[in-house]
Amino acid sequence: MRIGFDAKRFFLNKTGLGNYSRDLVRILEKYVPENEYIKYTTKTGNYDIKDPNLEKTTRLPEGFINTRWPNLWRRRRIVHDLKKDNIDIFHGLSGEIPSGLAKAAIKSIVTIHDLIFMRHPELYHPIDRWIYKKKFRHACTAADRIIAISECTKNDIIDLFHIPENKIDVVYQGCHESFKTVKSEEQKRTIKEKLGLPQEFLLNVGTIEARKNILPVVKAIKDLAIPLVVVGKPTRYHQEVIEYIEQNKMENKVYFFQGLEMEELAILYAAATIFIYPSIYEGFGIPIIEALYSGTPVITSKMGVFPEAGGPSSCYVDPMDISQIHDAIKSLLQDTGKRKEMSKKGLEFVQKFNDDRVAQRMSAIYSAL
């Protein structure tokens, strides 16, 4: 089969949707090489399009109209190129597919990551909510199949867009290979020295925004002898966190970083004493998976998708309850045996998200179409 991908996020997003797109394409190319995979994008960002392998499997808009209005090409005119390339199935990796695929006899699949903009509309500008809702509703209605990245997201699609359950398949996200290799004590020592970190620390990874909800953790460690390391891009919410830190003289207890290389980040996960992820809502929560693969015990939110991602051996708390977060951290810090047990059982649980299983599941869906 010839599979075409909407690869805008593959090339232009460094985290989130970009990681999902790159990991899925990598997994399919490795485990199901009998198919051909073509990536369609308006730009290639920092990627070297002259790389022979990338050049062979990447398509950019051509001609005056398509290059002058690349978003029009992505939304509609791309179908002409898909037909020319004899694409059997087009897969929208980030909640969108172009119009006209059915008329061109091209099967379609769309991956829906989450419907946060509908579950928590207060976090989005009204215009953005309107655009997302229009795009996602069209994709869910027009696509032949829908991939939900979790059971939680599947239920949201059914509930909010009234899509029949039998049209939706759940395929969990893969995870970058860097998190799956055992890190040496020397590697851990080196990253801590480079970043100026103490021997033990809590780790949180993700954009520093209200939905990710890191402020309650900062408040929870105020009287605990453990620092917090936060890796992520700051937003306006970051200033609220900084203000609390300054008011309570916690500058030496909270470290902020961004822009780490993937291998550095993976070593940091493995070096952390506990990974904490108090997010209010996610489509899946890939940082939880990264922590489990790294052998690091996880504290996360008890509602929504988080138990689905964290499994039976992670620790679950009310993300808004500061005392509950405080007690969970304190308890695990005092119980080395419990942390080791969580690490061992978490690593066993996370094998369900291995690349070969993702590839097998996705390949079966393509073949059925």
Strand pairing category for 89-92 and 168-170: unpaired
The helix or strand, by DSSP H or E, that contains position 280, with its residue range, turns out to be none
Residue whose structure tokens are 């929208």: 92
DSSP class of 73: I
List the end-to-end C-alpha distance of the chain, in Å, as a whole number.
11
Q: Quick one: pLDDT at residue 198?
A: 95
Q: What is the pLDDT along the chain (369 residues), one digit of tens a residue?
A: 999 999 999 998 877 888 899 999 999 999 999 999 999 999 988 876 667 778 889 999 999 999 999 999 999 999 999 999 999 999 999 999 999 999 999 999 999 999 999 998 988 899 999 999 999 999 999 999 999 999 999 999 999 999 999 999 999 987 888 999 999 999 999 999 999 999 999 999 999 999 999 999 999 999 999 999 999 999 999 999 999 999 999 999 999 999 899 999 999 999 999 999 999 999 888 999 999 999 999 999 999 899 999 999 999 999 999 999 999 999 999 999 999 999 999 999 999 999 999 999 999 999 999
> In this structure, are residues 233 and 209 in contact, taking their beta carbons and an 8 Å threshold?
no
Strand pairing category for 168-170 and 228-231: unpaired
| Helix, strand, coil shares, percent, the chain, to 5 | 50, 15, 35
Residues in the chain: 369
DSSP class of 183: P
- Listed as own residue / partner, the contacts of 57-66 with beta carbons closer than 8 Å and 24 or more positions apart are 58/7, 59/85
> In this structure, are residues 293 and 270 in contact, taking their beta carbons and an 8 Å threshold?
no
At residue 178's C-alpha, the angle toward residues 30 and 342, to 5°, is 115
Fold topology of 2-171: Rossmann fold (3.40.50)
Q: 104: burial class by Cβ within 10 Å (0-12, 13-18, 19+)?
A: middle
Strand pairing category for 2-6 and 145-148: unpaired
DSSP class of 234: B
Q: Taking the domains of the chain in order of start, what are their residue ranges?
A: 2-171, 177-352
> In this structure, are residues 58 and 39 in contact, taking their beta carbons and an 8 Å threshold?
yes
One fold for both 2-171 and 177-352? yes
Measured CA to CA, the distance from residue 133 to residue 119 in angstroms comes to 12
Measured CA to CA, the distance from residue 291 to residue 295 in angstroms comes to 6
Q: Give CATH for domain 177-352.
A: 3.40.50.2000
> In this structure, are residues 175 and 352 in contact, taking their beta carbons and an 8 Å threshold?
no
Cα separations (Å) of 230 from 21, 195, 215, 227, 245? Answer: 24, 12, 11, 10, 13
Measured CA to CA, the distance from residue 205 to residue 175 in angstroms comes to 14
φ/ψ of 89, rounded to 5, equals: -135, 135
Measured CA to CA, the distance from residue 31 to residue 355 in angstroms comes to 8
φ/ψ of 19, rounded to 5, equals: -60, -45
Q: Quick one: pLDDT at residue 49?
A: 66
Maximum distance among all Cα pairs of the chain, rounded to whole angstroms: 65
User: Residue 40 corresponds to which tokens in the numbers above?
Assistant: 């369609």
Could you tell me how many helices (H) and strands (E) the chain has, helices first? 18, 13
Lateral strand order in the sheet of 254-257:
254-257, 228-231, 202-205, 274-277, 298-301, 315-317
Position 98: which residue type?
P
Q: Rounded to two decimals, what is the model's pTM?
A: 0.87
- Listed as own residue / partner, the contacts of 193-196 with beta carbons closer than 8 Å and 24 or more positions apart are 195/229, 195/255, 195/257, 195/268, 196/255
